[in-house]
Homo-oligomer: A and B are copies of this chain.
Amino acid sequence: MSQMQNVEKQLREMILGLEVGPGERLTERWIESRFGASRTPVRAALLRLETEGLVCRDGRGWTVSPINLAELEQIAVYREAVEVAALRLTCALEDRSAVDIIEAMLDSCDAGTPREEWHRVGMDFHIELARASGNEFLFRAVRDAMTRLSRARWLEVRDEAALGRAWAEHHAILEAVRAGDAAEAARRLSAHIVGSRDRLVTSLHNDRRGLRARGFAVVAA
């Protein structure tokens, strides 16, 4: 793999994995030495990550994008629009076998599964559901939205019960899709997204002090 894609990938993982905190300043020289690459691939990576919303300009200079509660709420509205549209398309397909694969993915998580895996699968559920629609733009929109939400969802304090509820909602959505009931599937998905948003925003809002203590920038709604 070329150095350019490598820097981009590694830096993205560092940001998503919170190894560099939201709001932290980034210098091209630091990234350069950190990954042993020169500034050309570093700049390419930063430009790409900027379009993904993971880094942003800070006057002259770069910052890891802060967690923005207002943005999270706007993304939820956006997600709802594109995910529901994708879901309706999927329900209209003759071949809905992708649903089985997605369901298997959900079922691969059990009590012994590490938290990161639950986190990843929880996002992939939505991403793969969108991919199944066959519409590249809806798919990308959902994938990008989930990327933007990723860090916030990771920081969310979730109890076992909340996780179980989310999984039950995921299964219920798939069930409606399998039955080809687009209206019901859309209703369930919308409710799931709105519920997720509320839990996420209140969790982060309540824990704001703790997050700030960890050096994470959280800008209020």
Interface segment among A30-38, A41-49, A175-183, A193-201: the answer is A41-49
- Copies in the assembly, this chain: 2
Bitwise, A38-81 to B at CB < 8 A (1) or not (0) is: 00100110011001000000000000000000010011011011
Q: If the complex has contacts A43-B44, A44-B47, A51-B51, are A81 and B77 also in contact, measured as CB distance less than 8 A?
A: no
A44 / chain B contacts, CB cutoff of 8 Å: 43, 47
Compute how far the CA of A80 lies from the CA of B85 in the bound complex, rounded to whole angstroms: 9
Compute how far the CA of A175 lies from the CA of B40 in the bound complex, rounded to whole angstroms: 51
Chain A binding surface SS class: helix
Bitwise, A132-167 to B at CB < 8 A (1) or not (0) is: 000111100100010000000000000000000000
A137 / chain B contacts, CB cutoff of 8 Å: 74-75, 77-78, 145
Which one, B47, B81, B145, contacts A81 given CB within 8 A? B81
A147 to chain B, nearest CB (A): 13
Task: Judge whether A82 is part of the interface by a CB distance below 8 angstroms.
Answer: yes
Task: Judge whether A89 is part of the interface by a CB distance below 8 angstroms.
Answer: yes
Compute how far the CA of A75 lies from the CA of B80 in the bound complex, rounded to whole angstroms: 17
A71 / chain B contacts, CB cutoff of 8 Å: 136
Compute how far the CA of A84 lies from the CA of B75 in the bound complex, rounded to whole angstroms: 16
Which one, B48, B80, B82, contacts A78 given CB within 8 A? B82
Residue of B nearest to A141 (CB): B141
30 cross-chain CB contacts under 8 A: A40-B43, A43-B43, A43-B44, A44-B47, A47-B47, A47-B48, A48-B51, A71-B136, A74-B135, A74-B136, A75-B137, A77-B85, A77-B89, A77-B135, A77-B138, A78-B85, A78-B135, A78-B137, A78-B138, A78-B141, A80-B85, A81-B81, A81-B82, A81-B84, A81-B85, A81-B138, A82-B82, A82-B141, A137-B145, A141-B141
